[in-house]
A = this chain, B = another copy of it.
Amino acid sequence: MATGRTHRPATRSRGIPEATVARLPLYLRALTALSERSVPTVSSEELAAAAGVNSAKLRKDFSYLGSYGTRGVGYDVEYLVYQISRELGLTQDWPVVIVGIGNLGAALANYGGFASRGFRVAALIDADPAMAGKPVAGIPVQHTDDLEQIIEDNGVSIGVIATPAGAAQQVCDRLVAAGVTSILNFAPTVLSVPDGVDVRKVDLSIELQILAFHEQRKAGEEATPDGAGPAAVTRRESTDQGPDGDVPAVMPA
């Protein structure tokens, strides 16, 4: 099968690096918090600390968007919020459907972080006839039979899959056939999609496994080799979690 490059073959020098795109939501969140506290301007140093990255990286990231700062001063908070929102496409309304309303699907339906970012849960879909009509997060669950109609009626282009692994590919195929071109997959399966469709995956157990790997290493160091030891009290604001590997990462923000 194809390699699964991360989007745009390589062409287009006008493109914003993927690594930068993945951090924009982080900056946006920090900026929104500053905006709510009515902070007018912020330096790259301050904003970087709030977002959990270093300032050089942040300035480099912003340089891909344009020159939105003022030397000697910093960035205008409101203006940056707008520019990043626009770049991310959050100034428009994105109707999304969530398929698979189990524990996770229900949690996603109730998640406030979606609505606050221009995402609107247009419909909840489940294969269990007993669920049909029941309201979850104030939205009545609809049956899988109507999936195609729902996608079309609501002009949905983003779908969230929260079904068991066994149903994911089938649901994915139907979503894509109905016109969905972006999928957020919570099922522990590799989805196969046609070119032009983006998939991001979030796998809860993968994250834990990565933590276990590092945890295991720590245990093997007991008596710390170097001076300081594990009791050093410096604080980090680390957000970096390194490369993903592919999905990598959905990381929800």
Bound form: Cα–Cα A191–B46 in Å: 15
Q: Is there an interface contact between A215 and B182, defined as CB atoms closer than 8 Å?
A: yes
Q: Is there an interface contact between A248 and B242, defined as CB atoms closer than 8 Å?
A: yes
Q: Mark A81-111, 1 if CB is under 8 A from B, else 0.
A: 0000001111010101000001110111011
Residues in B whose Cβ lies below 8 Å from that of A22: 206, 210, 242-248
Residues in B whose Cβ lies below 8 Å from that of A171: none
Residues in B whose Cβ lies below 8 Å from that of A181: 215, 218
Q: Which of B51, B209, B213 contacts A190 (CB 8 A)?
A: B51
Bound form: Cα–Cα A199–B157 in Å: 32
Residue of B whose beta carbon sits closest to that of A189: B29
Q: Does A232 contact B (CB under 8 A)?
A: yes
Oligomeric state, in copies: 2
Q: Which of B160, B234, B246 contacts A194 (CB 8 A)?
A: B234
Bound form: Cα–Cα A169–B104 in Å: 24
Say how far A130's CB is from chain B's closest CB, in angstroms: 18
Q: Is there an interface contact between B249 and A117, defined as CB atoms closer than 8 Å?
A: no
Q: Is there an interface contact between B4 and A235, defined as CB atoms closer than 8 Å?
A: no
Residues in B whose Cβ lies below 8 Å from that of A20: 245
Q: Is there an interface contact between B202 and A204, defined as CB atoms closer than 8 Å?
A: yes
Residues in B whose Cβ lies below 8 Å from that of A43: none
Given known contacts A52-B1, A240-B246, A241-B247, is B209 in contact with A196 (CB within 8 Å)? no
Q: Is there an interface contact between A241 and B201, defined as CB atoms closer than 8 Å?
A: yes
Q: Is there an interface contact between B251 and A247, defined as CB atoms closer than 8 Å?
A: yes
Bound form: Cα–Cα A182–B207 in Å: 11
Bound form: Cα–Cα A116–B253 in Å: 26
Bound form: Cα–Cα A193–B234 in Å: 8
Say how far A1's CB is from chain B's closest CB, in angstroms: 4
Bound form: Cα–Cα A23–B206 in Å: 9
Q: Is there an interface contact between B194 and A236, defined as CB atoms closer than 8 Å?
A: yes
Bound form: Cα–Cα A215–B26 in Å: 19
Residue of B whose beta carbon sits closest to that of A119: B208
Bound form: Cα–Cα A192–B234 in Å: 10
Residues in B whose Cβ lies below 8 Å from that of A48: 1
Q: Which 8 A-B pairs have the closest CB atoms?
A: A206-B253, A242-B249, A241-B249, A247-B251, A203-B253, A203-B252, A4-B238, A89-B216
A-B pairs with beta carbons under 8 Å apart, 5 shown: A1-B236, A2-B234, A90-B212, A240-B250, A247-B249
